[in-house]
Amino acid sequence: MSVIYKRVIKRGVDATTALILLIVLSPLMLIVALLIKLDSRGNVIFKQERIGKNAETFVIYKFRSMKFNSEHTGSGVYSEKGDPRVTTLGRFIRATSIDELPQLVNIIKGDMSFIGPRPPLTYHPWPIEQYSKEQIRMFDVRPGITGWAQVHGRKCVEWNERIRMNVWYVDHVSFWLDCKIVFLTIFRVFTNADNENVGATVTEPSRNQ
């Protein structure tokens, strides 16, 4: 059952649910888009290359939460608490995870799933060539909006450990595990748990995996 779910059912549920949510949430998304445009200059949608299934690159979509052209300035790749690059509205949509809603389009396109390893940047925590043979297995499934690592520390967990949890998820994908992750995600969104980087989360790539 878990194999059928992983290879067939999961994708069908993802695409159908994402389409329904995109229709239902379209008024909210239009309002957010308008507010972003009024709040600061720049594009409404932030686009960024990430590594997805089979280690292939795709473009992820988010509502822009930072000031125009600020990704590689200031405190670095990820923002920390009080990062001045994050707009006033951006703080709210990040805290509520509203900034992730455009990824419904990524799910419909087949780039992503609702549940799966969070897709890393092409250059961070390290280039794809530096992943070990064990670590590269996290790309055997579609990346997700949320996942096992996200409900077990999220941004507070060092990347070698995040990847280890992602690989564990790949080996244990099931309907019931995905349901558990959904409920844990809802709890963390409402409590805004582990939603800000509190320090360095990258060490040298582990070669012991």
Give me the pLDDT at residue 201, please.
67
Give the start-to-end residue ranges of the domains of the chain.
2-191
Give me the pLDDT at residue 58, please.
98
Indicate the SS3 state at residue 191. Answer: helix
Contacts of 43-49 with C-beta under 8 Å, sequence gap 24+, read: 45/102, 48/121, 49/121, 49/122
pLDDT per residue as tens digits for the range 196-207: 555 456 666 655
Give me the pLDDT at residue 8, please.
86
- Which position has the higher pLDDT, 79 or 43? 43
pLDDT per residue as tens digits for the range 142-192: 999 999 999 998 777 899 999 999 999 999 999 999 999 999 999 888 876
Indicate the SS3 state at residue 153. Answer: coil
pLDDT per residue as tens digits for the range 90-128: 999 999 999 999 999 999 999 999 999 999 999 999 999
Q: Which of 87, 116, 112, 92 minimizes the C-alpha distance to 102?
A: 112
State what percent of residues in the chain have pLDDT above 90: 71
- 133: pLDDT strictly greater than 70: yes
pLDDT band per the 50, 70, 90 thresholds, residue 209 = very low
- 4: pLDDT strictly greater than 70: yes
Q: Which of 50, 41, 144, 27 minimizes the C-alpha distance to 89?
A: 41
**For 59-73, what is the mean pLDDT?**
84
E strands, the chain, are 45-51, 57-63, 113-115, 144-146
pLDDT band per the 50, 70, 90 thresholds, residue 2 = confident
Single pTM value for the model: 0.87
In the block, which residue shows the tokens 């990820």?
78
Distances (CA, A) of 168 to 24, 135, 139, 152, 189: 33, 10, 12, 12, 23
